[in-house]
């Protein structure tokens, strides 16, 4: 790896910027890209698909192109999940997401709910949700799920998430609750396109009923959103 490439990769890692290294084996030429869109229009379709997969699936390897084989090597920051509301669903979701490779933060200013005994091995914040998420630093490899069912906690978190490039935003609640939430977000100045980013009712429709099953449906949906090429 060329020194300039290494420096750029380390700089991208420091700010959680996904980056991929492309190496043309025929001549050793290197190029760094931060998205498939950076490839010139009309570039090799196989290479473009390989780069999309590298960012979406953390999957690299050799790809045959019109210019010969190209090695694609992704350097993606680890995905992260911020859960707002230290409820029973959050206990299961925190562990599932952690096992799926996410760095997990659980946010709840209610001290009685947020304890290390209930959430072993994950980061905890007793700050107000919007302030906690600002400190967390939401980026394109971050997800936010609100579970408190309390607008005083969920709404500030959702507003912070909608102002960010988070890859997944989910909110617990019935369709009636979601309608009321949309109305509040509209009053706060968010348009229909922004509000449509919220997955609500949260999770894939698998007929989940118990907290653990609902957590599973959420984990499946955020995984699908993370892994789908964008």
Boundary-marking domain end, from 43, 60, 75: 75
Cα Rg of the chain (Å, integer): 20
**pLDDT at residue number 20:** 95
Q: What is the 3-state secondary structure (H, E, C) of the chain?
A: CCHHHHHHHHHHHHCCCCEEEEEECCCCEEEEECCHHHCCCCCCHHHHHHHHHHHHHCCCEEEEECCEEEEEEEECCCCEEEEECCCHHHHHHHHHHHHCCCEEEEECCCCCCCCCCCCCCCEEECCCHHHHHHHHCCCCCEEEEECCCCHHHHHHHHHHHHCCCCCEEEECCCHHHHHHHHHHHHHCCCCHHHHCCEECCCCCCCCCCCHHHHHHHHHHHHHHHHHCCC
- Whether 124 and 145 share a structural domain: yes
- Whether 71 and 92 share a structural domain: no
Q: 10-residue block means of pLDDT along the chain (230 residues)?
A: 88 92 93 87 82 89 92 95 97 96 95 90 95 94 96 96 96 92 96 96 94 97 84
- Whether 49 and 156 share a structural domain: no
**pLDDT at residue number 47:** 92
**pLDDT at residue number 36:** 85
Q: Which domain holds residue 17?
A: 3-75
- Whether 207 and 154 share a structural domain: yes
**pLDDT at residue number 41:** 64
**pLDDT at residue number 229:** 59
**pLDDT at residue number 161:** 97
Boundary-marking domain end, from 56, 75, 94: 75
Give the count of domains, the chain: 2
**pLDDT at residue number 147:** 97
CATH number for the domain including 111?
3.40.50.720
pTM: 0.86
């Amino acid at each position: 790896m060329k020194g300039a490439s290494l420096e750029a990769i380390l700089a991208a890692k420091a700010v959680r910027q996904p980056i991929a290294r492309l190496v043309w084996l025929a001549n050793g030429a290197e190029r760094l890209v931060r998205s498939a869109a950076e490839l010139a229009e009309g570039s090799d379709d196989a290479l473009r698909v390989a780069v999309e997969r590298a960012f979406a699936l953390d999957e690299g390897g050799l790809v045959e192109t019109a210019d010969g084989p190209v090695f694609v090597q992704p350097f993606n920051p680890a995905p992260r999940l911020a859960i707002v509301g230290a409820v029973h669903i959050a206990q299961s979701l925190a562990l599932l997401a952690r096992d799926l490779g996410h760095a997990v933060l659980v946010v709840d200013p209610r001290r009685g709910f947020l304890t290390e005994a209930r959430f072993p091995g994950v980061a905890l914040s007793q700050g107000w949700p919007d302030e906690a998420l600002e400190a967390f630093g939401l980026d394109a490899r971050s997800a936010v799920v609100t579970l408190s069912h309390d607008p005083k906690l969920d709404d500030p978190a959702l507003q912070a998430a909608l102002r960010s490039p988070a890859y997944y935003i989910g909110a617990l609640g019935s369709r009636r609750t979601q309608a009321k939430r949309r109305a509040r977000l509209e009053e706060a100045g968010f348009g229909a396109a922004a509000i449509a980013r919220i997955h609500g009712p949260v999770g894939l429709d698998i007929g989940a009923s118990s907290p653990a099953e609902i957590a599973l449906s959420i984990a499946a949906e955020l995984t699908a959103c993370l892994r789908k090429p964008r």
